[in-house]
């Protein structure tokens, strides 16, 4: 049975999926939308999605996180490492990051300028 929060995803099927994480391409801008939890169990899929994202050579990349209920330090680290691979003129915009992600970035990657967090 399909979860109601995943019913209306663009393009129907996820681009990446793991036990408790699904990642879908955004239909209107370069980026992805994630749903579920980013933990050690789902880290490989999260890293794969981020790797594909940072390979895009567009100025702004978007990661919609409003449906992510939890991201652990390993998931945040994967995001930071992906952002560190970007050229200076490229950025990742994190839309609606889950609680605690901003604090992790403030603590562990305070000088990382290629990530911008936009809370809703």
3-state secondary structure the chain: CCCHHHCCCCCCCCCEEECCEEEEECCCCCEEEEEEEECCCCHHHHHHHHHHHHCCCCCEEEEEEEEEEEECHHHHHHHHHHHHCCCCCCEEEEECCCCCHHHHHHHHCCCCCCEEEECC
Residue 108 — very low, low, confident or very high, per pLDDT cuts 50/70/90? Answer: very high
The pTM is what?
0.81
Quick: pLDDT tens for 24-53: 999 999 999 999 999 999 999 999 999 999
pLDDT recorded at residue 2: 38
- Please state, as a whole number, how many other Cβ atoms lie within 10 Å of the Cβ of residue 114: 19
Quick: pLDDT tens for 46-105: 999 999 999 987 789 999 999 999 999 999 999 999 999 998 889 999 999 998 999 999
How high is the mean pLDDT of the chain? 85
pLDDT recorded at residue 58: 77
Residue 19 — very low, low, confident or very high, per pLDDT cuts 50/70/90? Answer: low
């Amino acid at each position: 049975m399909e979860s109601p929060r995943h019913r209306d995803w663009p393009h129907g099927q996820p681009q990446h999926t793991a036990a408790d994480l699904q990642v879908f391409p955004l239909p209107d801008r370069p980026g992805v939308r994630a749903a579920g939890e980013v933990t050690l169990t789902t880290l490989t899929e999260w890293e794969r999605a981020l790797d594909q994202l940072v390979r895009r050579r567009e100025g702004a990349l978007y990661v919609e996180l409003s449906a992510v209920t939890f991201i652990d330090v390993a998931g945040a680290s994967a995001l930071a490492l992906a952002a560190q691979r970007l050229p200076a003129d490229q950025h990742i915009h994190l839309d609606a990051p889950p609680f605690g992600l901003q604090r992790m970035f403030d603590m562990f990657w305070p000088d990382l300028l290629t990530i911008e967090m936009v809370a809703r």
